[in-house]
Amino acid sequence: MRVGEVVSILLIIVGLLAVGYVGYSYGYESGIQKGYSLGFSEGYLLGNSSGFESGFLKGSSFGYGLGNESGYSLGFSHGYTKGNLTGYELGYEIGYNEGYQKGVLDGAGTGYTLRDPTFLELLSFLANDKTDRNPYTPSYTCINFAADVKNNAFAAGYRCGFVYIKFKDSAHAVVCFNTTNRGLVFVEPQYDDIVTLKIGESYAAQNGYIIPTYDDKIVSYVIVW
């Protein structure tokens, strides 16, 4: 074989080797890139999903526990404080009102308790009262008689009314008791007499007293208990 032919054959072989190497290199590099890209994508998705699930479970569990504990503590503290304050205020108000009312009633019970007498109790009181023995003077008049009987009745525990009687040009004073069995009874304190008060009639005439020189017809009367 001639030298020229050998050289040609060698060149062909070298060319084929060169082309094969280039193809191999290109295929190898292209395969690596494509495999890397595909593997990275698949791995990223799988890793992301696995990591998300693991992280979510751990984060949710930890966050729930911490949030629940914190929320419970905060809610309990706030609720307890507000409930305690509301209960205290409500209890204080109710207790104060009930205690105050009971205290007033109990306190009133230890003081003077007046009542209306029976007719027999009234007669007994008048028999024991000495006001009618006081002399009538310019400084001790009907008003004083009535006031003293009223005060003595108060001391005995009986409710007694001061009666102011108006005449045309003057006035008079007696007392009264609202007896439990005979109703309202008027009493002339100067004599301990049971008297009658009729508007428009003479006080003396309707009760058997000496008719005075002045007009003693009753115009009106007022009771002060």
Query: Can you give the residue ranges of every domain in the chain?
Result: 1-111, 119-224
pLDDT, tens digit (0-9, with 9 covering 90-100), for 172-210: 999 999 999 999 999 999 999 999 999 999 999 999 999
pLDDT, tens digit (0-9, with 9 covering 90-100), for 85-131: 556 555 655 565 566 556 555 555 545 689 999 999 999 999 999 99
Kindly tell me if the per-residue pLDDT of 152 is higher than 80: yes
What is the CATH architecture of 119-224? 2-Layer Sandwich (3.30)
What is the structure's pLDDT at 113? 86
Residue 20 Ramachandran class (φ > 0 left, ψ -120 to 50 alpha, else beta):
alpha
Mean pLDDT along residues 166-172: 96
Give the range among 71-85, 134-148, 154-168 with minimum mean pLDDT. Answer: 71-85
Kindly tell me if the per-residue pLDDT of 80 is higher than 60: no
Question: Distances in Å between the alpha carbon of 1 and those of 4, 8, 12, 16?
Answer: 8, 11, 16, 21
CA 210, CA 201: separation in Å to the nearest integer? 14
Higher pLDDT, 60 or 155: 155
In terms of C-beta density within 10 A (0-12 exposed, 13-18 middle, 19 or more buried), how is residue 209 classed? middle
Structure-token match 């230890």, residue found: 110
Higher pLDDT, 66 or 148: 148
What is the structure's pLDDT at 50? 63
pLDDT, tens digit (0-9, with 9 covering 90-100), for 27-56: 656 666 766 666 666 666 666 666 666 666
Question: Is the pTM for the entire model greater than 0.85?
Answer: no
Higher pLDDT, 62 or 172: 172
Is the dihedral angle over the CA atoms 87, 88, 90, 95 positive or is it negative? positive
